[in-house]
Amino acid sequence: MKNNMLCVFVLFGLAFTPALIVAESEADWFAEFEQDTETVNEGGLIFLEKRPKQPVHYLHNRITITPESLTTGWVRLSQCHEQLDSVPAAQIVFNPQRIRHLSVTSKHNIEAAWVDGPSVQLKQVSKQAKVCIDAETRAFNIEDDGKYRLRNGPFMRRFLDGFYPMRLRLDVSFPNQLLRLVSVSPNPQSGFRLQQEDGKVSIETLFEGKLYTELLFSRQETRSE
């Protein structure tokens, strides 16, 4: 099975057969990110109103944009995968040019978890397993018009040629004295909830298919006294 995603979580049901793919990759790593986000999301993406009876893979991303991010593009990432399926081996792989300071912060129902270059390797993943990692990722894009884009995706849970439900929460913190949120894509709708407060935006969604998210920011206008 060909996989062209840069941050992939690949679960192998057998040593030689890729049984399940759950992917989350950072912004602008492949040509897909040059496409319009809404256009990309039309490819079989379905937002679900009701959670399935069986537990679904839950990915929680916490991204912190710092004042330095506005010039460097680097943001802080804390990521947790929960409700993992039972498999003998798994890995989370990042683009080596856009990831640094990668570490495993916690694990549950996993025999071993360790960093290997730009990846996290997992051994003997049991039911209801959880793993959390910290890193810095260069995912904050500075545009020519002075705006800033935070793109994430594709998020998906795939088995062979079909997509299965996946739950995602994305919490983004930013310096509200420097930035203001202009827009979020996809637009809020049933199955895709958006919450905003000063210096923070949260997305929570349950979906099937391939999901990309994009947050657009602009500089706060300086008020004259």
Query: Is 196 part of a structural domain of the chain?
Result: yes
* Residue 15: pLDDT band with limits 50, 70, 90: very low
**How far is residue 225 CA from its own chain's centroid?**
41
| Res 76 pLDDT > 70 | yes
Closest among 106, 110, 111, 155 to 128, alpha carbons compared:
110
Positive or negative, the CA dihedral 99, 100, 104, 105 is negative
- How many angstroms separate the CA atoms of 143 and 84, rounded? 37
Is 92 or 12 the better-scoring residue by pLDDT? 92
Can you give the pLDDT at residue 101?
Answer: 96
207-217: pLDDT as tens digits: 998 898 999 99
Query: Is 3 part of a structural domain of the chain?
Result: no
Pseudo-torsion of CA 195, 198, 200, 204, nearest 10°? -10
Can you give the pLDDT at residue 29?
Answer: 35
| Res 124 pLDDT > 80 | yes
Q: Which domain holds residue 212?
A: 8-219
Query: Is 87 part of a structural domain of the chain?
Result: yes
| Res 100 pLDDT > 90 | yes
Can you give the pLDDT at residue 223?
Answer: 56
* Residue 18: pLDDT band with limits 50, 70, 90: very low
Query: Is 193 part of a structural domain of the chain?
Result: yes
3-state secondary structure the chain: CCCCCCCEEEEECCCCCEEEEEECCECCCCHHHHCCHHHHHCCCCEECCCCCCCCCEEEEEEEECCCCHHHHCEEEEEEEEEEECCEEEEEEECCCCCEEEEEEEEEEEEEEEEEECCEEEEEEEEEEEEEEEEEEEECEEECCCCCEEEEEEEEEEEECCEECCEEEEEEEECCCCCEEEEEEECCCECCEEEEEECCEEEEEEEEECCEEEEEEEEECCCCCC
* Residue 17: pLDDT band with limits 50, 70, 90: very low
Query: Is 225 part of a structural domain of the chain?
Result: no
Query: Is 2 part of a structural domain of the chain?
Result: no
Can you give the pLDDT at residue 27?
Answer: 39
CATH number of 38's domain: 2.60.40
The total domain count for the chain is 1
* Residue 104: pLDDT band with limits 50, 70, 90: very high
Can you give the pLDDT at residue 159?
Answer: 67
126-174: pLDDT as tens digits: 988 999 999 999 989 989 888 999 988 778 877 666 788 899 999 999 9
Query: Is 111 part of a structural domain of the chain?
Result: yes
| Res 10 pLDDT > 60 | no
Can you tell me the mean pLDDT for 12-19? 25
Query: Is 209 part of a structural domain of the chain?
Result: yes
30-70: pLDDT as tens digits: 334 344 344 333 448 999 988 888 888 899 999 999 999 99
